[in-house]
Amino acid sequence: MYNKGLSQSNFDALGDYIASLPEKKGALMPVLHKAQNLFGYLPKEVQLFICERLDVPTSKIYGVISFYSFFTMKQRGQYVINICMGTACFVRKADDVVKEFEKKLGIKVGETSKNMMYSLEALRCVGACGLAPVVMVNDKIYGHVEKKDVKKILAEQSN
Amino acid sequence: MPNYRMHLLVCGGTGCHATKSNVLINELKRVLSEKGLEDEIQVVETGCFGFCEKGPIVKVYPDNVFYIEVQPDDSLEIIEEHIIKGRKLERLLFVEPSLNQKLEEQLDMPFYKKQLRVALKNCGFIDPEDIDEYISTEGYHALGKVLTSMTPDAVIEEIKISGLRGRGGGGFPTGLKWEFTKKSSADQKYIVCNADEGDPGAFMDRSILEGDPHIVLEAMAIAGFAVGASKGYIYIRAEYPLAIQRLSIAIEQARNYGLLGNDIMGTGFDFDVEVDLGAGAFVCGEETALIKSIEGNRGEPLTKPPFPAQSGVWGKPTCVNNVETFANIPAIINKGGHWFKKIGTEKSPGTKVFALAGKINNVGLVEVPMGTTMRDIVFDIGGGIRHGKQFKAVQTGGPSGGCIPYSQIDIPVDYDSLVSIGSMMGSGGLIVLDEDDCMVNIAKFYMEFIIDESCGKCTPCRVGTKRLHEILTKITEGKATEECINHLVELSDTIKDTSLCGLGQTAPNPVLSTISYFLDEYKAHVIDKHCPAGVCEALLSYTVVSENCIGCTACLRACPVNCIKGAPKEIHKIVQSDCIKCGACYDICRFEAIMKK
């Protein structure tokens, strides 16, 4: 669900969504959420499109996108692996899990593998601290993850 | 509607969803209909029971029998044994480690015994996606009472009598906040529910919104009536998809019932609610930053005054309260401010919900009267430290808070006591640390968090926390001198004094409190170049424990720099001068023959 490309149909869908808004004042955040949902990321083309339709300067749009960690301007892999680095996961050795993913995938946190299969990211607390350390692959949550589980989690995705 | 004789309450919170409680629910329903029991036994997907470590949880009501770690495959057995034959299923009962005894009923469990549930009263009891279940537990009764028999001033007076203080961390009296907003005159005012629970390790607000969304809607409408606002915003983290979904369902249902929208209950009062998503910025938990974010801007805090009560969303008077604060309101209206005031301590009345996490046996959500001691929370309710390790500290208040060492564990937990020992209540995350946690490393962890989350507006916070992090890194790498500890304290004080918002002013707290209670550990790092907890890799050395080594050569083959010498069936040796401290030998050894110290 993360990469749907910059197709015309996505631009049409975003345009329709913006047109359907009862009020454009304060609508930037919901529009960015919608756009990231559609395109998977928020590149310059999408920012310019929003600028025109919402009548908000691109400088402001760029400022907002770069401020919030949930928004991304880079295209991500088919599987986005998010490792929770909240305190509860941290004290239960989530950094070992991060290192193992980095080793197995050959990429660092914040990077995407060359074949666009995997992106590795760290997030701050999904609130499932009872399952610490937690790893999310797209929308699926894995709990009590140890170093040795990393291989299995990756194998599950490629099947 | 069938008259059910028994209900199977299954936890449908984020934690239990992750352990497949939704599959379990479908399986229970399937088996029930196979046995022809679907009109006798109801399966209810509830909110969080709080006992997250042992999920998925199934509670049989009215028997109050509590099953833990239930798998979809257990459905048939639960139904055949418990429902049909009336025998409890021993193997799924909770075993209390301290008593080594299987406990059948929920209230026998020490985890629940000392709890008092006000804000969480419906979590784990009702179906959050069914407004009728909420109404059947006195839901929307308080709103009706307020609209038909009270004046706005009387409502505010009741909240003031209760002594309720903001549960988001600051502890500001809620009644006063409402009064200030009411006194500001404007054509439009707003109520904002702050559900931007960014403190890592805190999940109280998420659980309330997932388990009982209507309680928040009802309280927001009451607040709207009291201050004269007709519109509410719920600002919620985008990382909480399930809570967002349940809220949206609840809002829709409340509108259909005429409990939100125009002319509520035919009284002429209008109030509606909109959900706004955050986008991963911790600073947006600060009320002025949150308001900027609702308006579609970068979430940078503003100077106060003017306070939101005078000028908030779109420059209009705005009352911002946290989720848990709202969750207390209906009970205060129904039972009276005096009832609430009797719970807890004099200056911090009521209860507080805590998210217990870290190195503790019973990770989960607990609600206790204010003034309960930390010892009760950690050892009685939390079941003590995992794997029989030694308690080291509890971290409260997240990145803005501090550590409570064992010497302070008998402190009653309320707003003022925690501040007096250099920590703070915060939103209610309690992270328990044990002997294996290095306090310098913990302080460094929080500084990393702050560096990421500082909005960058003020120099002390933006640059100062970076410098703190650099000094802490030097300490963990054994490159620091004693002078560095003084630098940490001096810089921390400057950051506290000169930052604009709460984030910056409290950012150095984790550093200051670890220094004040664990100075020995800092000194061990800088003077002896030793990490007592065995965490800081640069200060560790790996050695072979001769008694345990069987000479299997596993470590020798795993070592990437060939610094382990030995032959099959011979005791191995690590050449310290060549060791890069990667830990590969430690990980691969199955005989505990590699020691890390």
CATH 3.40.50.720 fits A79-158, yes or no: no
Candidates A28, A60, A129; nearest CB to B203: A129
Q: What is the ipTM of this complex?
A: 0.93
B183 touches chain A (CB under 8 A): no
Contact A33 B279 (CB under 8 A): yes
Q: What is the mean pLDDT of residues B502-531?
A: 95
A133, A144 in Cβ contact below 8 A? yes
- Output the average pLDDT for chain A: 91
Please indicate if any CB of chain A lies within 8 Å of the CB of B499.
Answer: no
Q: Any CB–CB contact under 8 A between B396 and chain A? A: no
Phi-psi map region of A125: left, alpha, beta (phi>0 left; psi -120 to 50 alpha): left
Tell me, what amino acid is at B164? L
Q: Do B281 and A69 touch (CB under 8 A)?
A: yes
Contact criterion met (CB below 8 Å) for B187 and B230: no
What is the chain B residue with the closest CA to A130? Answer: B53
User: How confident is the prediction for chain B on average, in pLDDT?
Assistant: 94
B359 touches chain A (CB under 8 A): yes
Tokens encoding B81: 């044994």
Which amino acid type is present at position B476?
Answer: T
DSSP for B388-433 reads: GPPEEEEEESGGG-EEEEGGGTT-B-SHHHHHHTT---TTSEEEEE
- Provide the residue ranges of all domains of chain A, joining segments of one domain with +: 8-67, 79-158
- Please judge whether B395 and A87 are an interchain contact, meaning their C-beta atoms are less than 8 angstroms apart: yes
pLDDT confidence of residue A1: 42
**Measured torsion, CA atoms of residues B294, B295, B296, B298, in degrees rounded to the nearest 10:** -80
| Alpha-carbon dihedral angle through residues B288, B182, B426, B113, given to the nearest 10 degrees | -150
Residues of B in contact with A28 (CB under 8 A): 296-297
* Model confidence at B597: pLDDT above 90: no
Indicate if the pLDDT at residue B1 is higher than 80.
no
Q: List the structure tokens of B365.
A: 């959500």
pLDDT at B60: 94
State whether B239 and A28 contact (CB < 8 Å). no
| Token digits of residue B367 | 């609600």
Tell me the average pLDDT across B394-414.
93
Does residue A5 have a pLDDT over 80?
A: no
What pLDDT digit, counting tens, does each position of B309-341 carry?
999 999 999 999 999 999 999 999 999 999 999
pLDDT digits (tens, 9 = 90+) for B431-449: 999 999 999 999 999 999 9
What domains sit in chain B, N to C, each tagged with a CATH number? 6-113 (3.40.30.10), 131-341 (3.40.50.11540), 351-434 (3.10.20.600), 439-526 (1.20.1440.230), 541-596 (3.30.70.20)
Reported as a single tens digit per residue, the pLDDT across A74-120 is 999 999 999 999 999 999 999 999 999 999 999 999 999 999 999 99
DSSP conformational letter for B344:
B
